[in-house]
C-alpha cells in the first residue's frame, strides 16, 4: 500500500524554489489557480520507494503579511490545508534575509524542514555554513542541497518524510520581540485563548502577533467572530503603539520585524556562518551590473536585448506558424472535398477550422515568446530592465516591469497583444499590472499592420514608413496616457512600493526553460482554444444567417444562366473544340462578378449586415458606412478579418491580403472615401476593442470576465470618440 504525504514548498523569490520543484516533480506537475485569485497553484508528485508525496509549490514570498495576494494565498493554504511539513528553501548565500520567512513559519508552529540551497554558489563566495549547528539552534532539520544539479534532494525528501511520519503537533516557537511587545503579547494571548477567539483556526499567540502587526485580514475575521473582544484587543494594541511612538519613535510591527531579524542574527553569530573573503568584495554578478546598468551602456544594451527578444519571437516563429497555416489549409481543403456543399461544410470550414486554426496558429509565437522571457527572467536580467525603466513608467502610474508587455504587444510595430497580456504575469503589483494589461492592446499588433498599411497606402501613399513610425509612436502615447487615466480613475491607488531584488546573474537551466515554456503554452491552448471555438461559430453564424430568401437566390441563378447562354462552354464531350482564351476569361469574369454580388447581398442580408446597417445611425458621426461596420465587427474576432471582410463588402472577391493593392485602389477611387475618413477608420482600428483571443486572455489574467468586457467597451468608446473628433474636425477644415 502506498502511503501518501502532503507537503508545501515555500521560500523567497530567487531562492531556487521553482528549480527545486521542477527537479523533484519533473513533468508530473499540475498547474491551476487558487480559488478566486489569479495566483498560480502548482502541484506535483514525488515518489520515494512506496511513498507518494504530494508537493504544493507556494508562491515565492518574503513574508506572510496580508499585503499581497501571494502572501495571503500562501498562509491561507498553510492554515486551512494543513500540510504535514513545510519544506522551506533558503539561499545559502543569503541566509540572513531568507530566514526571515522561516521565523514566520516558526510563529505558526508548522513543522519545517530547511533546504539549504546553492551551497556551491555560497562556497564560491567564501561563505561556509555549519548546517548541523544551524539545525541545532533553529530546532529543525537542515539539509544542504544544490537544486540545479539535484544534489541532496533525495536526502531532503527522506528527511521530510521522516518528519511528516511523526505527525507532529503545530508548536509555535516563542520568539521574543522586546519587553514592551512581549508583555502585551502575553496579555492579548490570554484574552484570545480565554475567549476562544479564532483559536479553532489559528494559534492564539499568532493571532495576537497579527493584531500587533495591524494585519487587516485577521482583524476583519476577528471583528466578524467577536466584535467586542476584537475592539478590546485593538484598544490594547493602540495603547502600546502610542507608547512605542512616544518613547522610541517606532511601531509595533517594526519592533516585531526587528526582533525577528535579531533572533536570526543571534543564531548566525554563534559560529554558524563564516566568511572567508571581505564582505564587500565585488562578485562577478556585480561586475556584470557595472556594465549592464551603466548610465550609457545599460539602456543601449537593453534596447538590443529587447529588440533581440522581439526578433527571436516573431522571426523564428514565422516558419512553424506557416507550417500550422499549411496544415489548417490542408484540413480545410480536405473537409472541402469530402463534405457535400451546404451549411455543415460552411460551418466546419469557415467557422471551426478557420476560427480554431486562427488561435492555434498563435501557439508557436506564444512558445517562442515564453521561451525568450523565461531566459530573461531566469537569468536575472528582467529585474534590471524593470530597475532601469521604472522612473519613466512611474510617471504614467505603471512600473518598470510594464515595458515587456508593451513591446511584445507591438511596441516595436508587429507584435501581438496575446503574449503581451500574458507577459504581465511578471508584474508583482496588482494595480500597475491591471493598467498594463488593459493598455497593452493599444499597441500595433502584427494583425493590424496590413490594415494600417492599406489605409496609409490608399490615402497618404508617399511616405509609408514614416507614417508607420508615426502611428507606432502614437500608440505608445495613447497607451501610456490611458494607463495614467485608468490609474487615476478605475484603478486608482498609490503606486505599490517598488522594493525589488536584483538577483545575481545565473545561467538558466534548459529543463527549467522547457518546463516554463510548455506549461504556459499548454494553458493557452486549453483555455483560449475551447472558448474561441464557440466564438468562431457565433461569428460565422452572424455572417451567414439568415441566408438570402429564395427569390433573391433565383435572381442570381438566372443571371448566371444568362451568362452561360451568351458564352457557352464549348467543352462538349467528344469535341476538342476549345473556346478562345479571351472568351473564356470574359465568361469567368462575368460569373465571378455575379458570385461577388451574391456574396455582397448575402452579407447585407445576414445578421452582421443588418447590425452594420443599423450601426450606421451612430457610426456616421465618425464617417463609417455599413460595410466598414461589418468589417469592424469581424475585426473583433481577429483583426485579420477586417481586410477580408472589407474586400468582400467592396466586391473584391476573396480579399486576400495579397490583393490589398487593388482594395487600396478601390478605396482611393471611391468618392465615398477621402483621407479624413481613411484616417478616422485607421485610428478606430488601432484602438478599438481587442480581438477575442486577447479579450479572453485579459479576462483570464485579470481574473474576471468583467475586465474583458471593460476592455472591449472602454477601448471602443475611446476609439470612437477619437475617430469622431478627427472626422468632424477634419471635415470642417477641408
Partner 1 sequence: MSRMMLRQMRRNQKGVITAVKQGGELGRRIRDMGLVPGTEITVQGRAPLYDPVALRVMGSVLSLRNNEADFIEVEVQP
Task: Answer for the pair 540, 347: CB distance below 8 angstroms, yes or no.
Answer: yes
- Of 19 and 619, the one with the shorter C-beta distance to partner 1 is 19
CA distance 527 to 29: 18
CB of 444 to partner 1, least distance (A): 27
Query: Is it true that the peptide bond before 603 is cis, omega within 30 degrees of 0?
Result: no
CB of 640 to partner 1, least distance (A): 39
CB of 384 to partner 1, least distance (A): 9
CB of 373 to partner 1, least distance (A): 20
- Of 38 and 293, the one with the shorter C-beta distance to partner 1 is 293
Q: Residue numbers of the site for partner 1 (CB under 8 A)?
A: 62-63, 65, 67, 93-94, 96-97, 100, 125, 127, 214, 249-251, 253-254, 257-258, 261, 265, 279-280, 285-286, 289-290, 293, 295-296, 298-299, 383, 387-388, 390-392, 394, 497-504
State the SS3 of 130-173: CHHHHHHHHCCCEEECECCCCECHHHHHHHHHHHHHCCCCCCCC
CB atoms < 10 A from the CB of 206, how many?
A: 25
Q: Which strands sit side by side in the sheet containing 85-91, from one edge to the other?
A: 29-33, 40-48, 51-57, 3-11, 85-91, 112-117, 142-144
- Of 151 and 498, the one with the shorter C-beta distance to partner 1 is 498
Task: Answer for the pair 434, 499: CB distance below 8 angstroms, yes or no.
Answer: no
- Of 117 and 602, the one with the shorter C-beta distance to partner 1 is 117
Query: Do the strands 40-48 and 127-129 form a parallel or antiparallel pair, or are they unpaired?
Result: unpaired
CB of 67 to partner 1, least distance (A): 5
- Of 122 and 140, the one with the shorter C-beta distance to partner 1 is 122
CA distance 88 to 91: 10
- Of 286 and 329, the one with the shorter C-beta distance to partner 1 is 286
506 φ/ψ angles, rounded to the nearest 5 degrees: -140, 155
Residue in 102, 94, 98, 141 with CA at minimum distance from that of residue 119: 94
CB of 18 to partner 1, least distance (A): 18
CA dihedral 405, 408, 410, 416 (to 10 degrees): -110
Angle, CA of 635, 639 and 640, to the nearest 5°: 110
CB atoms < 10 A from the CB of 118, how many?
A: 25
CB of 13 to partner 1, least distance (A): 11
CB of 211 to partner 1, least distance (A): 15
CA distance 289 to 19: 24
CA distance 73 to 79: 10
Residue in 40, 208, 195 with CA at minimum distance from that of residue 108: 208
For residue 270, give the C-alpha cell: 554563534
CA distance 132 to 142: 7
- Of 268 and 584, the one with the shorter C-beta distance to partner 1 is 268
Helix (H) or strand (E) holding 9: strand 3-11
CB of 385 to partner 1, least distance (A): 11
* CA dist list (Å): 665 to 185, 460, 639: 80, 12, 21
Residue in 329, 364, 335 with CA at minimum distance from that of residue 348: 335
CB of 305 to partner 1, least distance (A): 15
Longest dimension (CA), the chain: 113
CB of 123 to partner 1, least distance (A): 13
CB of 391 to partner 1, least distance (A): 4
- Of 214 and 350, the one with the shorter C-beta distance to partner 1 is 214
Residue in 167, 118, 114 with CA at minimum distance from that of residue 136: 114
CA distance 214 to 418: 40
CB of 252 to partner 1, least distance (A): 9
Quick one: how far is CA 526 from the chain centroid? Answer: 15
Residue in 505, 436, 509 with CA at minimum distance from that of residue 476: 436
CB of 502 to partner 1, least distance (A): 4
CB of 299 to partner 1, least distance (A): 6
Task: Answer for the pair 502, 290: CB distance below 8 angstroms, yes or no.
Answer: no
- Of 436 and 644, the one with the shorter C-beta distance to partner 1 is 436
CB of 390 to partner 1, least distance (A): 6
DSSP string for residues in 406-458: HIIIIISSSB-HHHHHHHGGG--SHHHHHHHHHHGGGS-BTTHHHHHHHHHHH
Enumerate the β-bridge partners of residue 30: 43
- Of 278 and 341, the one with the shorter C-beta distance to partner 1 is 278
CB of 422 to partner 1, least distance (A): 25
DSSP string for residues in 508-528: PPHHHHHHHHHHHHHHHHHHH
CA distance 145 to 11: 14
- Of 64 and 435, the one with the shorter C-beta distance to partner 1 is 64
What's the DSSP call for residue 278?
-
Amino acid at each position: 500500500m502506498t502511503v501518501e504525504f502532503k507537503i508545501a514548498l515555500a521560500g523567497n523569490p530567487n531562492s531556487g524554489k521553482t528549480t527545486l520543484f521542477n527537479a523533484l516533480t519533473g513533468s508530473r506537475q499540475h498547474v491551476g489557480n487558487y480559488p478566486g485569485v489569479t495566483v498560480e497553484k502548482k502541484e506535483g508528485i514525488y515518489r520515494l520507494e512506496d511513498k507518494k508525496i504530494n508537493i504544493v509549490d507556494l508562491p515565492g514570498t518574503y513574508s506572510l503579511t496580508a499585503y499581497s495576494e501571494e502572501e495571503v494565498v500562501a498562509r491561507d493554504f498553510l492554515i486551512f490545508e494543513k500540510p504535514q511539513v513545510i519544506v522551506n528553501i533558503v539561499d545559502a548565500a543569503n541566509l540572513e534575509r531568507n530566514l526571515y520567512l522561516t521565523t514566520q513559519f516558526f510563529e505558526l508552529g508548522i513543522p519545517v524542514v530547511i533546504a539549504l540551497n546553492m551551497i556551491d554558489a555560497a562556497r564560491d563566495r567564501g561563505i561556509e555554513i555549519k548546517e548541523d549547528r544551524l539545525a541545532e539552534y533553529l530546532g529543525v532539520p537542515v539539509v544542504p542541497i544544490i537544486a540545479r544539479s539535484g544534489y541532496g534532494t533525495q536526502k531532503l525528501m527522506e528527511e521530510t518524510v521522516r518528519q511528516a511520519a511523526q505527525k507532529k503537533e503545530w508548536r509555535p516557537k516563542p520568539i521574543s520581540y522586546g519587553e514592551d511587545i512581549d508583555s502585551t503579547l502575553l496579555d492579548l494571548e490570554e484574552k484570545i485563548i480565554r475567549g476562544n477567539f479564532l483559536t479553532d483556526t489559528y494559534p492564539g499567540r499568532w493571532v495576537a502577533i497579527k493584531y500587533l502587526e495591524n494585519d487587516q485580514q485577521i482583524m476583519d475575521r476577528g471583528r466578524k467572530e467577536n466584535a467586542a473582544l476584537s475592539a478590546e484587543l485593538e484598544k490594547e494594541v493602540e495603547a502600546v503603539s502610542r507608547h512605542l511612538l512616544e518613547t522610541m519613535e517606532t511601531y509595533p510591527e517594526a519592533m516585531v520585524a526587528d526582533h525577528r531579524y535579531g533572533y536570526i542574527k543571534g543564531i548566525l553569530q554563534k559560529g554558524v556562518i563564516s566568511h572567508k573573503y571581505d564582505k564587500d568584495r565585488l562578485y562577478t554578478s556585480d561586475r556584470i551590473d557595472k556594465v549592464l546598468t551603466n548610465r550609457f551602456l545599460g539602456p543601449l544594451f537593453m534596447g538590443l536585448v529587447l529588440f533581440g527578444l522581439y526578433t527571436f519571437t516573431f522571426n523564428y516563429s514565422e516558419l512553424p506558424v506557416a507550417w500550422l497555416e499549411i496544415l489548417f489549409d490542408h484540413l480545410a481543403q480536405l473537409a472541402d472535398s469530402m463534405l457535400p456543399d451546404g451549411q455543415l461544410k460552411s460551418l466546419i470550414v469557415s467557422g471551426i477550422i478557420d476560427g480554431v486554426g486562427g488561435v492555434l496558429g498563435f501557439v508557436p509565437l506564444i512558445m517562442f515568446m515564453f521561451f525568450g522571457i523565461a531566459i530573461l527572467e531566469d537569468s536575472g536580467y528582467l529585474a534590471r530592465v524593470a530597475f532601469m525603466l521604472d522612473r519613466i513608467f512611474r510617471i504614467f502610474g505603471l512600473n518598470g516591469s510594464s515595458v515587456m508587455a508593451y513591446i511584445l504587444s507591438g511596441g516595436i510595430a508587429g507584435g501581438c497583444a496575446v503574449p503581451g497580456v500574458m507577459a504581465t504575469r511578471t508584474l508583482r503589483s496588482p494595480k500597475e499590472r491591471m493598467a498594463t494589461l488593459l493598455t497593452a492592446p493599444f499597441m500595433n499588433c502584427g494583425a493590424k499592420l496590413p490594415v494600417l498599411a492599406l489605409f496609409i497606402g490608399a490615402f497618404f501613399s508617399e511616405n509609408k514608413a514614416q507614417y508607420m513610425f508615426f502611428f507606432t509612436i502614437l500608440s505608445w502615447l495613447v497607451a501610456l496616457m490611458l494607463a495614467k487615466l485608468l490609474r487615476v480613475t478605475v484603478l486608482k491607488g498609490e503606486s505599490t512600493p517598488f522594493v525589488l531584488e536584483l538577483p545575481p546573474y545565473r545561467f538558466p537551466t534548459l529543463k527549467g526553460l522547457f518546463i516554463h515554456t510548455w506549461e504556459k503554452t499548454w494553458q493557452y491552448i486549453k483555455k483560449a482554444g475551447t472558448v474561441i471555438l464557440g466564438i468562431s461559430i457565433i461569428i460565422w453564424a452572424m455572417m451567414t444567417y439568415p441566408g438570402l430568401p429564395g427569390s433573391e437566390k433565383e435572381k442570381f441563378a438566372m443571371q448566371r444562366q444568362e451568362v452561360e447562354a451568351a458564352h457557352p462552354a464549348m467543352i462538349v464531350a467528344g469535341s476538342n473544340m476549345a473556346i478562345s482564351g479571351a472568351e473564356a476569361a470574359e465568361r469567368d469574369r462575368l460569373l465571378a462578378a455575379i458570385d461577388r454580388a451574391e456574396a455582397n447581398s448575402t452579407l447585407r442580408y445576414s445578421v452582421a449586415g443588418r447590425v452594420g446597417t443599423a450601426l450606421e445611425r451612430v457610426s456616421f458621426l465618425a464617417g463609417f458606412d455599413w460595410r466598414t461596420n461589418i468589417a469592424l465587427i469581424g475585426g473583433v474576432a481577429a483583426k485579420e478579418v477586417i481586410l477580408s471582410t472589407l474586400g468582400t463588402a467592396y466586391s473584391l472577391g476573396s480579399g486576400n491580403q495579397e490583393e490589398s493593392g487593388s482594395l487600396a485602389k478601390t478605396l482611393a477611387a471611391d468618392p465615398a472615401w477621402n483621407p479624413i475618413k481613411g484616417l478616422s477608420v485607421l485610428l478606430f482600428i488601432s484602438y478599438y476593442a481587442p480581438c477575442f483571443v486577447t479579450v479572453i486572455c485579459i479576462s483570464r489574467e485579470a481574473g474576471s470576465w468583467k475586465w474583458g468586457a471593460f476592455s472591449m467597451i472602454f477601448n471602443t468608446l475611446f476609439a470612437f470618440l477619437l475617430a469622431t473628433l478627427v472626422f468632424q474636425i477634419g471635415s470642417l477644415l477641408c
